[in-house]
Each structure stands twice: as C-alpha cells, then as structure tokens.
Structure 1
C-alpha cells in the first residue's frame, strides 16, 4: 500500500475545521495517518495517538510534513469528532482496494462483537466484506441489530468494488434487493437458501429430488459455536 495514494484520498475528505482563521497548525492528512498507524499498531485511544506520534516522530517525518510537530490528544479528538465518517470510510476502502491484484471471492458476513454491549446499549453488530485471496477486509458497516443486515448489505455493496467477483453470503442475504444490487455491481453470487424463502426453497428442493440420482452428494458433521451441524451438499 502506497502512502501517497492514501494522502491523495485524504485530500478529498472535507476539512472539518474552520480554515478562515489561520490558526490550523496540523495538516489533516498528518492527523489521520498518525491515528491510523496508531490503531494498526495496537493503540486504543487519543492519548495513544499522541504518544505514538511523539515516539515515532523522526520516522513519521519521512513521509509526513508535521509542520508543528505531533498533534496532541485534544487535536485528535476535535478532528475525529467532526470528520465525516462516510468520507473517511470511503477513502480507506479505496486505498485498501488498490492492493487487490486479481478478482476472487468476497465473503459478506455479520458478526456480533462480544463484550461490546452494556446496560445502555446492545452489543454492536458489524457487517463486513472479506476478500479471501488477499486476506483483506474491503469494508464494514455497524448495524443496531442482526435483523438489520438485510438493509445494511446493499449499503455495504455500494461502498466497495466487486466487479468480476463472486459474492458469498448466508441465507439471511437471500433477498431480491441484495441479489439485484450484486448484479448491478456486475458480480456473481453464491448465497445460502433456507426456508426464509419458502417458495424458492420448495422449488429448489423439488428440482434436486427429481434429479438426485444423477447428482453426487456429500455430508459433513461439524461441531462449533455450541452446536453440532450436519450439512448435506448436492
């Protein structure tokens, strides 16, 4: 991943600070890149960003301007509070996508983040698009509940480039709008089918029953996530 490509993307992000007063001491790209590097290296909060920037200032100055040194934690807070999250997300997704050398499989799945819930809110649920061939997460969206995956998947597809890919998803994504969105993005798909689509499920089952003698079958038995799953493939 080239740092200059990331800088170019950051320049398309709206400047959240008041630029007419002449009191901006740190460049937006410096703040975002230091924050990103901090998180990649295991940092967790604004104080970590300041500490990381100061401890690595000599190295960071090789590709960042840092006209007034490293921003402090208050500067990181003010900027990240006002940044447009959609613009930042789009910038990072486009930057990561540059690393894709070939088309392949994009797996869309939702996971509940353990330990993220408390007495004030439920645990966070995140929809992600993962590229198996490159081991890259192309994009993520947070949703309030698992049932909101149906509306979130088309939004996630709008953010990423899947042209020429095979998009995979579980049976919850077996919806007309999701399939139409995948086709519109010029991708193929392999989506699970269960009885949440009763008519299609029945038609598919009847078709396989009619030709079952000519189609090989494979069964697997797996244990995980507190349950035993038996799967049959045709």
Structure 2
C-alpha cells in the first residue's frame, strides 16, 4: 500500500521517474509518515521499479477504477480523469500518468 500510494502521489505532483519517486518521498518523508509506514526507510528507486514492473496492468486498472468510483460516491460533483504516457520513459514498459480533478473539492 505504501509503495503504490506514495508513487501515485509523486506522479500526481509531476514526478515521472522511479528515482524521482524516491526523491519525492525523501523530501516529504515527515509529512508522509503521518499516513504511511516506512519500516525499512525510504524505498529505493529499484523498489518502485520492481513494484510497477510486476503489477498486473489489468488488475491495477480495475482496482484504480473502483477507487475512483468510490471517490465519485463521496462527492456529488463530476471528477475529470486524464491519462498520459510519459515520453522516453521506456520502450518496453512506458510510465503512465493519471491526473484526477474534482472542481467541487479542488
């Protein structure tokens, strides 16, 4: 959970690399510790890459869709979702970026 959530937070903040995810968590570790456990310290960029290389894309899509659906139930407003593929991130498994915006909740 910590790896997925912190990498999604990093991507939402414009981070587009695994080393950037590690840097993001290091920079925001104190704030993130309120919500996530880091029993072995900040995850390395290799750890983030192994996680995302081994996740089943279809299963993640379904789970993320259910998560977005639950957010829509919380708010009665429309949520805009935008996805992009990060250029030059990889030829085999490129990074994808998803942004969500709910006008009512900013």
Report if TM-score (shorter chain) is over 0.5: yes
2:6 to 34, 41, 46: 34
For CA contacts below 8 A with separation 6 or more, give which structure has more relative contact order: 2
The CA deviation at 1:136 is 2.7
- The answer on 1:135 being equivalent to 2:74 is no
Query: 2:27 maps to which residue?
Result: 55
Structure 2: tracts of 5 or more residues without a match: 86-106
Which one has the bigger helix percentage?
Answer: 2
Rg comparison, structure with higher value: 1
The CA deviation at 1:101 is 4.0
Query: 2:41 maps to which residue?
Result: 69
- The answer on 1:96 being equivalent to 2:64 is no
Q: Is the 8 A contact 2:15 2:21 kept in 1?
A: yes
Q: Is the 8 A contact 1:53 1:70 kept in 2?
A: yes
- Aligned-partner Cα distance in 1 for 2:55–2:73: 30
Provide the TM-score with structure 1 as the length reference.
0.33
Structure 1: tracts of 5 or more residues without a match: 1-28, 103-132, 143-234
Which one has the bigger strand percentage?
Answer: 1
Query: How well do the aligned residues superpose, as a CA RMSD in angstroms?
Result: 2.4
- The answer on 1:80 being equivalent to 2:24 is no
Report 1:47-196 matches (<5 A).
Answer: 47-101=19-73, 133-137=77-81
Runs of 4+ in 1 over 6 A off after TM superposition: none
Helix, strand or coil: the match of 1:136?
Answer: strand
Q: Is the 8 A contact 2:7 2:21 kept in 1?
A: yes
Report 1:195-214 matches (<5 A).
Answer: none
Provide the TM-score with structure 2 as the length reference.
0.69
